[in-house]
């Protein structure tokens, strides 16, 4: 499993996404850049230029037609994937920390930062997919303000009328996107800030990661905890591997808390855990700083990790990964 | 004795894993039965139509070859 190093970012990575076909990887960074790469060989295909601040978040629709990005420059931008052209820009009073497309591509949701004088907000925009994509509405269809603790991450459930948010307090909330009402919430999902949320392929469950050093699997309908994975390091990202019963975790102590030798050796690891048995099954070393974001190919054939070190490492799983049965015939029935 | 104890522990672990797998499978089955069949997007339907047309074209080509 020799990694491909994607070189092109000058500062730490903030989010990585594969497109639905898995042939492209989108990455965003504190260097104000969004890059798109071929996943099979790591060649850079292009950039999306226009933001003027850290780009915190990026997402691509299921047709690989539109890309959405959110930045510390208080702007959210809609891009044409193929040409790299910016189609529309929304401007907000504060930074955009997270964006996500709905499953049907018709909506995007975003979280804006809480700042003096401004409450943190979640806004839902309907995307006009007709024509050239430049005709978008300035105003959101729905907007609401999470109470008690600010939202840090979000993801739509299987339908566009519900979304799950993770909060600074460790809380998870399922919102009705049309009313802003809490459908259900789990106040003790994590003990510290929720750093990532990624849906299973059918969006019936999802994984969260937290600075409390754990990752957990939740039922999207009830927010009941299904599984829990406890590590010894703060986690920044968690992903579900399709096809095999594994989950991938990334994080690590900030450089100042680590001895320089271990940092120099590229010891920051992606951890593989068995999704159902809640046991660690392996680690992949490589990054020179904490891992900020992990994404798995939608067919489960490769994964990409983005680090504080400014590198993206793409690992194509070899045959032994798919063949290995570390627990004999004890395998879940599907995926 | 140690070996016996060890095998006991691992037997327990194996039972726990079996239970975990069964629980997971049961939960997945329940979720599937509760989820309505996914609606296909207009684009996907269109693509399927196009594929069907291509398939017919190929079949026709083959028929011609056989006749020749």
**A-B contacts at Cβ under 8 angstroms:** 29
Rounded to whole angstroms, the maximal C-alpha distance in chain A is: 58
Name all contacts of A131-139 with Cβ < 8 Å and 24+ positions apart: A132/A87, A133/A65, A133/A66, A133/A78, A133/A80, A133/A87, A133/A88, A134/A87, A134/A88, A136/A78, A136/A87, A136/A88, A136/A90, A138/A90
Distance CA B2, CA A241 (A): 38
Residue A328's pLDDT band (cuts 50, 70, 90): confident
Q: Is the pLDDT of residue A1 over 80?
A: no
Query: Under a CB-based contact definition with an 8 Å cutoff, are residues A24 and A40 in contact?
Result: no
pLDDT of residue B64: 47
On chain A, the residues whose CB falls within 8 A of the CB of B24 are 276, 332
- DSSP class of A118: B
B24 → closest Cβ in A202, A327, A332: A332
Instruction: Please provide the DSSP assignment of B9-49 as one string.
Output: HHHHHHHHHHHHHHHHHHHHHHHHHHSPPPPPPHHHHHHHH
| Tens of pLDDT, residues A258-293 | 555 554 567 899 999 999 999 999 999 999 999 999
Q: Nearest chain B Cα to A222, which residue?
A: B31
Task: Pull the structure tokens for residue A45.
Answer: 């295909």
Query: Under a CB-based contact definition with an 8 Å cutoff, are residues A14 and A291 in contact?
Result: no
Query: Under a CB-based contact definition with an 8 Å cutoff, are residues A172 and A212 in contact?
Result: no
The model's pTM is: 0.89
On chain B, the residues whose CB falls within 8 A of the CB of A329 are none
A277 → closest Cβ in B17, B25, B28: B17
| Tens of pLDDT, residues A47-57 | 999 999 999 99
Query: Under a CB-based contact definition with an 8 Å cutoff, are residues A13 and A310 in contact?
Result: yes
Q: Is the pLDDT of residue A335 over 80?
A: no
Distance CA A42, CA A27 (A): 12
Distance CA A118, CA A74 (A): 13
On chain A, the residues whose CB falls within 8 A of the CB of B18 are 330
| Tens of pLDDT, residues B12-23 | 999 999 999 999
Smallest Cα distance from B25 to chain A, Å: 6
The predicted model gives A9-18 an average pLDDT of: 97
In this structure, which CATH number among 3.40.228.10, 2.130.10.10, 3.30.420.40, 1.10.4030.10 belongs to the domain A3-323?
Answer: 2.130.10.10
Q: What's chain B's average pLDDT?
A: 70
Give residue for tokens 């190919």: A297
Phi-psi bin for A148: left (phi > 0), alpha (psi -120 to 50), beta?
left
Residue B45's pLDDT band (cuts 50, 70, 90): low
Helix runs in chain A, H state only: 260-264, 319-323
| Tens of pLDDT, residues A71-123 | 999 999 999 999 999 999 999 999 999 999 999 999 999 999 999 889 999 99
Distance CA A163, CA A183 (A): 10
pLDDT of residue B62: 47
Q: What are the Cα distances from residue A198, in Å, to A9, A30, B63?
A: 24, 21, 49
Rounded to whole angstroms, the maximal C-alpha distance in chain B is: 81
Query: What are the residue ranges spanned by the domains of chain A?
Result: 3-323
* CB spacing of A158 vs B18 below 8 angstroms: no
Distance CA A26, CA A9 (A): 12
H or E stretch at A294: strand A291-296
Distance CA A113, CA A309 (A): 25
| Tens of pLDDT, residues A195-235 | 999 999 999 999 999 999 999 999 999 999 999 999 999 99
pLDDT of residue A148: 87
Query: Under a CB-based contact definition with an 8 Å cutoff, are residues A115 and A93 in contact?
Result: yes
Q: What is the ipTM of this complex?
A: 0.89
Judging by DSSP bridges, how do beta strands A107-112 and A96-101 pair with one another? antiparallel
Query: Under a CB-based contact definition with an 8 Å cutoff, are residues A263 and A277 in contact?
Result: no
Q: Report the residue count for chain B.
A: 68
* CB spacing of B17 vs A333 below 8 angstroms: no
The predicted model gives A27-31 an average pLDDT of: 98
- DSSP class of A117: T
| Tens of pLDDT, residues A157-202 | 999 999 999 999 999 999 999 999 999 999 999 999 999 999 999 9
Q: Name every residue in B having a CB less than 8 A away from some CB of A.
A: 17-18, 20-21, 24-25, 27-29, 31, 35, 41, 43
Q: What's chain A's average pLDDT?
A: 94
Closest alpha carbon to A15 in A193, A250, A283, A301: A250
pLDDT of residue A260: 53
Query: Under a CB-based contact definition with an 8 Å cutoff, are residues A108 and A156 in contact?
Result: no
Q: Is the pLDDT of residue A239 over 60?
A: yes
Q: Up-side HSE of residue B12: CA atoms within 13 Å toward CB?
A: 5
Task: Pull the structure tokens for residue A162.
Answer: 């519900």
Judging by DSSP bridges, how do beta strands A182-186 and A172-176 pair with one another? antiparallel
pLDDT of residue A262: 52
């Amino acid at each position: 499993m020799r990694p491909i190093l994607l070189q092109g970012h000058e500062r730490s990575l903030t989010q990585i996404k594969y497109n639905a076909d898995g042939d492209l990887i989108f990455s965003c960074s504190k260097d104000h850049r969004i890059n798109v790469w071929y996943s099979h060989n790591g060649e850079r295909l292009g950039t999306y230029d226009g933001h003027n601040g850290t780009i915190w978040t990026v997402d691509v629709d299921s047709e690989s037609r539109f890309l959405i990005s959110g930045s510390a420059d208080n702007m959210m931008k809609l891009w044409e994937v193929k040409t790299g052209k910016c189609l529309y820009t929304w401007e907000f009073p504060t930074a955009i920390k997270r964006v996500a497309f709905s499953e049907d591509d018709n909506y995007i949701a975003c979280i804006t930062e809480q700042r003096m004088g401004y409450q943190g907000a979640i806004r839902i925009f309907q995307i006009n997919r007709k024509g050239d994509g430049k005709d978008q509405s300035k105003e959101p269809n729905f907007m609401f303000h999470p109470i008690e603790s600010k939202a840090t991450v979000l993801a739509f459930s299987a339908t566009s009328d519900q979304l799950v948010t993770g909060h600074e307090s460790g809380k998870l909330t399922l919102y009705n996107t049309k009313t802003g009402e809490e459908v259900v919430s789990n106040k003790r999902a994590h003990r510290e800030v929720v750093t990532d949320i990624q849906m299973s392929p059918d969006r019936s469950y999802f994984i969260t990661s937290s600075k409390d050093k754990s990752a957990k699997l939740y039922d999207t309908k009830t927010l009941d905890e299904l599984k829990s994975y406890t590590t010894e390091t703060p986690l920044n990202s968690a992903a579900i591997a399709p096809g095999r019963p594994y989950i991938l975790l990334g994080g690590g102590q900030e450089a100042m808390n680590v001895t320089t030798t271990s940092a120099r050796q590229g010891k920051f690891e992606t951890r593989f855990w068995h999704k159902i048995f809640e046991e660690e099954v392996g680690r992949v070393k490589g990054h020179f700083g904490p891992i900020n974001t992990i994404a798995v190919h939608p067919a489960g054939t490769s994964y990409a990790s983005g680090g504080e070190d400014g590198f993206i490492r793409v690992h194509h799983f070899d045959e032994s990964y798919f063949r290995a049965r570390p627990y004999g015939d004890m395998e879940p029935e599907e995926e | 004795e140690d070996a016996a104890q060890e095998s006991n522990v691992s037997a327990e672990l194996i039972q726990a894993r079996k239970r975990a797998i069964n629980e997971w499978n049961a939960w997945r089955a329940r979720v599937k039965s509760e989820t309505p069949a996914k609606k296909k997007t207009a684009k996907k339907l269109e693509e399927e139509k196009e594929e069907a047309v291509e398939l017919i074209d190929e079949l026709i080509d083959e028929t011609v070859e056989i006749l020749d």
